[in-house]
């Protein structure tokens, strides 16, 4: 799982930087300001979760609950892909209906954060005993 999280972070980071540059340079001249903001949101959320996946990979080698950390990482990977890809598609294909999928990605991202919080609270309980 550690390798999967590192590889996913690397891929999300690579695509995030590339799509950010593409939006800032190529798309800026051909899409509306509103669509450019949607594109920026997709890039931002993708890049926000890239270092988190690296941190989760590191947590796999600690006393934190492996089950909760793996579940958090998988939620964040799938959530980031669904959230950002739906927004990229919305802009690229001018398909507003793709925006209906975005909340699913957002919910998975939030679930990932919740699972990380639960892992931390579980570990905190162990550390205080």
* Residue range 7-47, pLDDT digits in tens: 999 999 999 999 999 999 999 889 999 999 999 999 999 99
Q: Which of 56, 41, 75, 37 is closest to 119 using CA atoms?
A: 56
**Percent of the chain at pLDDT exceeding 90:** 95
Domain ranges of the chain: 2-123
CA distance 74 to 83: 14
Confidence band for 87, pLDDT divided at 50, 70 and 90: very high
Cα–Cα distance measured from residue 105 to residue 75, given in angstroms and rounded to the nearest whole number: 9
Task: Give pLDDT tens digits for 26-35.
Answer: 998 899 999 9
| Domain range 2-123, CATH architecture | Up-down Bundle (1.20)
pLDDT the model gives residue 51 = 98
Q: What is the pTM of this model?
A: 0.94
């Amino acid at each position: 799982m550690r390798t999967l999280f590192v590889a996913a972070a690397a891929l999300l980071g690579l695509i995030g930087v590339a799509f950010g540059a593409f939006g800032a340079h190529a798309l800026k001249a051909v899409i509306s300001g509103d669509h450019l903001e949607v594109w920026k949101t997709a890039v931002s959320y993708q890049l926000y979760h890239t270092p988190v996946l690296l941190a989760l990979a590191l947590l796999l080698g600690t006393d934190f609950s492996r089950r909760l950390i793996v579940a958090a990482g998988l939620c964040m990977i799938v959530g980031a892909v669904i959230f950002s890809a739906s927004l990229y598609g919305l802009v690229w294909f001018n398909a507003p209906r793709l925006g209906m999928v975005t909340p699913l990605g957002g919910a998975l991202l939030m679930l990932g954060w919740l699972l990380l919080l639960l892992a931390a609270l579980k570990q905190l309980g162990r550390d205080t005993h």
